[in-house]
Structure 1
């Protein structure tokens, strides 16, 4: 199994966590109070220096009033889109164009942030 700490998949996961916190209008210190950890601990998780286990993720999302399963489904969909972009066959000059298009599509996906609660 490949190491995932510095993978593009992990970057997407961490970006989703950060955007979700920001969409709630919370600073790292605010979230830290809600989950009973330090601001530094939140920063370390968001920057990828510390991993968040599944129980920690559940607590994190609960503090942000966001559904655990909803987050997982959205993350899975985002990662599958990334995988689909990477799996397209590329040859010659189209390889650079395809890579540029994939980066643009991924940036747009991340800029959209988490879906709003309804």
Structure 2
């Protein structure tokens, strides 16, 4: 299983959580009060130092009055978009064609012609 703590996917997840809090005009301290946690606990989650489990995420979204399934569907759509962008070839760059395989010593000898003693 790939490490996800510092992945682009996790960055999108954390950014989405932070933007949702900010869209509610809440400071980290305000959300902390709603969650019954400290401001530093909220900061640690938003910065990726602490991970939320699924129950913690549900509580977090409930405190922000945001639908759990709605959040998951939106997050899934954003992550799929990111994956689709990564898999597409970059615009303007043609794929390199496979070059001819390197010639072996034996084939070089045959191309050079017969060996003769002088």
TM-score by length of 2: 0.76
- Deviation sequence 1:59-92 (CA, Å, 0-9, x none): 0000000000000000000000000000113487
Alpha-carbon distance change, 55 to 90 in structure 1, aligned in 2, over 3 angstroms:
same
Report the Cα distance in structure 2 between the residues aligned to 1:42 and 1:82, rounded to whole angstroms.
26
Structure 1: unaligned runs, 5 residues or longer: 96-118
CA distance in 1, matches of 2:94, 2:15: 29
Q: Which has the higher contact order (CA 8 A, sep 6+)?
A: 1
Secondary structure at 1:14's aligned position in 2?
helix
Whole-angstrom CA distance in 2 between matches of 1:24 and 1:84: 30
- Work out the number of aligned pairs and report it: 95
- Superposition RMSD in Å: 1.7
Distance 1:5 1:94, change over 3 A: farther
Structure 2: runs of 5+ lacking an equivalent: 96-118
1:29 Cα deviation from its structure 2 partner: 0.2
CA distance in structure 2 between the aligned counterparts of 1:60 and 1:90, rounded to whole angstroms = 38
- Tell me the SS of whatever aligns to 1:50: coil
For residues 94 and 13 of structure 1, do their structure 2 counterparts lie closer, same or farther at Cα, with a shift above 3 Å needed?
A: farther
Point out the structure with the larger helix share: 1
Q: How does 1:1-118 map to 2 (within 5 A)?
A: 1-90=1-90, 93=93
Query: TM-score with structure 1 length normalisation?
Result: 0.76
SS at match of 1:73: helix
